Structure formats: C-alpha cells, structure tokens
Chains A and B, each alone.
Chain A
Amino acid sequence: QKEVEQDPGPLSVPEGAIVSLNCTYSNSAFQYFMWYRQYSRKGPELLMYTYSSGNKEDGRFTAQVDKSSKYISLFIRDSQPSDSATYLCAMRPPYNFNKFYFGSGTKLNVKP
C-alpha cells in the first residue's frame, strides 16, 4: 500500500463549479500537508501549505486536513479554465523536513 493515495481522475467540471480534490494517507506521523499544482509539461509549484489539522483559505482555494480520518482536501471555488492542471498532494512528518511523500496527482479540466 502506498503511503499517500490520490484518485488520478481525470475530473472534468464546468467553469464556475466548486471542485473537491482529496488524498488519504496511512502514516499518522504526517503533520505538514501541501498541495502542488502542475501545468502540462511544467514542474509542480506549491499552491498551499498547512500544518496539522484544520482549514486554511487563500483566495478561491481552501485546504482542509482531518488527521483523525487521515484525509486531506483541496476545494476550489468558482473554478476557472486556468485552474486546469494536475494537483498533487504532498505531506511529511515533523522529524524530516526534507522528505516529502507525494500523491500521484489528480488531473482537473475546467471547461469554459
């Protein structure tokens, strides 16, 4: 079993829809959670970074962590065609600042 599981999609939604992207994980030591966005033929770039449980909001994006369920989510409100990309979750334990565990990524397509 992989340490981080993510549905690969693809997920296709109309412009303006609310998008929910999710990851589950097995290692209860993970405390730092990230979402990266990767456009086609580009490297991943950090979108959001959260620590432990709770919500974090940044514009149209909200990251949610539920440590009791080992489940994290990224919500995108009012989705735009420019949000079309692959979204990768990543996480790490507190004792290793450098080793990130990535999900396989969910491909999102927002149709105009």
Chain B
Amino acid sequence: DAGVIQSPRHEVTEMGQEVTLRCKPISGHNSLFWYRQTMMRGLELLIYFNNNVPIDDSGMPEDRFSAKMPNASFSTLKIQPSEPRDSAVYFCASSIRDRKDNEQFFGPGTRLTVL
C-alpha cells in the first residue's frame, strides 16, 4: 500500500497567487482530513470529509481557503489569494470512517512558503 499521497511536497509562491494542494487517500478509506501544522499553533484540523461529503469545515481559517473531494480517491485544498501567514506544512490524512479504534494515516505533507 502506497499510503496517503500528497503533492506537491514543497511549494513556494508569492503573495496573492493561487495555491492548490492535492491528496490521494489510502484506497478503501472513506474519511479524509486536511490539517495545517505550524510551530505557533501546532496541528490544526481544517476540514474533514466522510464519503466525499464535507462534514466539518469549522477549522477553515477564512474564505480564502476551500476544499473539495470530487471522488473517493482525490481531494484538493485551495488557497486563493495566498498570504505569507498561510506558510505552514499542510497534511492530508485518511481513515476508515466511524470505527471505534480508527487510526488516521497521515501523508508526508506539503511544505508551503508564501513570500
């Protein structure tokens, strides 16, 4: 199993540009999570999906952020326009939904730098 796949691994962009992060969850997993990690705030849940449907987006910082999951094997997190304070490592994770002992499997992350 390839695990959770994220692309790109690194992204450097200028303020005001659109950024799209991509995630392919583990096959058979039906929950998908987007997290952001910074030194100051730690690991924050941005949004999660069950069966491709957004369930909780209360962690999305503002309207500049949007996430989609068009099918069970692909999700995107978009930032438009990007700002320097968006610089962070963005993780995608997947799990099998609604299991008592469910484990979230994390991807390697996308390190985003906004200049």
Q: How far is the CA of A69 from the CA of B45 in the complex (A)?
A: 26
Q: Which residue of B lies closest to A4 (CB)?
A: B42
Is the CB of B101 closer than 8 A to any CB of chain A?
A: yes
Is the CB of A21 closer than 8 A to any CB of chain B?
A: no
**Do B103 and A103 have beta carbons less than 8 Å apart?**
no
Spell out A's residues near B (CB within 8 Å): 6, 32, 41-46, 49, 51, 88, 97-100, 102-105
18 of the cross-chain contacts (CB-CB < 8 Å) are: A41-B108, A43-B107, A43-B109, A49-B103, A88-B42, A88-B43, A97-B98, A97-B100, A97-B102, A98-B31, A98-B33, A98-B55, A98-B95, A99-B48, A102-B42, A103-B42, A104-B42, A105-B43
**Do B102 and A44 have beta carbons less than 8 Å apart?**
no
**Do A42 and B108 have beta carbons less than 8 Å apart?**
yes
Is the CB of B75 closer than 8 A to any CB of chain A?
A: no
Q: Which residues of A are found within 8 Å of B43, using beta-carbon distances?
A: 44, 88, 102, 104-105
Q: Which residues of A are found within 8 Å of B99, using beta-carbon distances?
A: 97
Minimum CB–CB distance for B6 against chain A, Å: 8
Q: How far is the CA of A84 from the CA of B70 in the complex (A)?
A: 38
Q: How far is the CA of A41 from the CA of B71 in the complex (A)?
A: 28
Is the CB of B106 closer than 8 A to any CB of chain A?
A: yes
Most chain B CB inside 10 Å of its own CB: which residue of A32, A44, A88: A44
Q: How far is the CA of A74 from the CA of B51 in the complex (A)?
A: 33
A43 in contact with B108 given A97-B99, A97-B102, A98-B97 (CB within 8 Å): yes
Spell out B's residues near A (CB within 8 Å): 4, 31, 33, 41-43, 45, 48, 50, 55-56, 91, 93, 95, 97-109, 111
Q: How far is the CA of A97 from the CA of B106 in the complex (A)?
A: 16
Q: Which residue of B lies closest to A96 (CB)?
A: B56
Q: How far is the CA of A42 from the CA of B37 in the complex (A)?
A: 12
Q: Which residues of A are found within 8 Å of B91, using beta-carbon distances?
A: 43-44
Q: How far is the CA of A32 from the CA of B99 in the complex (A)?
A: 12
Q: Which residues of A are found within 8 Å of B105, using beta-carbon distances?
A: 45-46
Q: Which residue of A lies closest to B104 (CB)?
A: A100
Q: How far is the CA of A41 from the CA of B10 in the complex (A)?
A: 11
**Do B103 and A46 have beta carbons less than 8 Å apart?**
yes
